[in-house]
Amino acid sequence: MLDFMFVFFAAIALAGGLVMAFHQSIVHSAFALVAVLFGVAGLYWTLGADLLGATQILLYVGGVTILLLFAVMLSTRDAGRLAIGRYILMAPVLGLLGAGLLRVYQGVIAISEGRELTLLEPEPTSDAIGQLFVDPHGFLLPFEVLSVLLLVVLVGAVTVARQQQEGTPDA
Partner 1 sequence: MIGLEHYLYLSGVVFTLGLCGVMMRRNVILVLMGVEIMLNAANLALVAFNKFMLPGADGTVAPDGQVFVFFTIAVAAAEVAVALVIAVALFRRLDTVNVDDVANLRW
Partner 2 sequence: MSPEMLTDLQALMPEIWLVAAIVVTLTADLILGHGRTARTVTGVVALAGVVGALLALGEQDTSVPARAFGVLSVDGYAWFFRALIISATGLVILYGIIFRGLEDRTRNEFHPMLLGAAFGGCLLVSTDNLLMLVLGMEMLSLPSYIMAGWQKRERRSAEAALKYLVYGALASGLMLFGFSLLYGMSGSLWLPDIGLAITEQWELGGELGRMLVVGSTVLVFAGIGFKVAAFPFHFWAPDVYEGSPAPVTAMLAVASKAAGIGLLLRFVDGAFLGMVVSEDWLARLGSVTAVIAAVTMTYGNITAVKQTNVKRLLAYSSIAHAGFLLMGVAVMLTATGDDRAAVETGQQATLMYLATYYFGTLGAFGCLMALADRFGAEDLDDYEGLGRQAPWIGVMFVVFLASLTGLPPTAGFVGKWFVFRAAISSGLDWLAVVAALNAAVALFYYMKIPVSLFLRGGDQPRVADVPGLGLVPRVANLSILVLAAATVWLGLMFDDLIAWVNASLL
Burial of 26 (0-12, 13-18, 19+ CB in 10 A): middle
Decide which of partner 2, partner 1, none touches 59; Cβ closer than 5 to 8 Å per partner kind.
partner 1
Residue placing its CB nearer to partner 2 in the complex, 60 or 122? 60
Half-sphere exposure of 69 (CA within 13 A, CB side): 14
Asked if 40 interacts with partner 1 (CB under 8 A), we say yes
In angstroms, the Cα distances linking 47 to 12, 16, 73, 107, 114 are 16, 20, 35, 22, 16
Contact string (CB under 8 A) for partner 1, positions 151-170, x = contact: --xx-xx--xx-xx----x-
Of 66, 74, 72, the C-alpha closest to 37 is 66
Among 92, 96, 116, 155, binds partner 1 (CB under 8 A): 116
Residues 6 or more apart whose CB falls under 8 angstroms from that of 54 comprise 41
Among 123, 133, 136, 155, binds partner 1 (CB under 8 A): 133
Least separation in angstroms between residue 4's CB and partner 2 is 26
Residues lying near partner 2 in the complex (CB under 8 A) are found at 100-101, 103-104, 106-112, 136-142, 145-146, 148-149, 151-153, 155-157, 159-160, 163-164, 166-167, 170
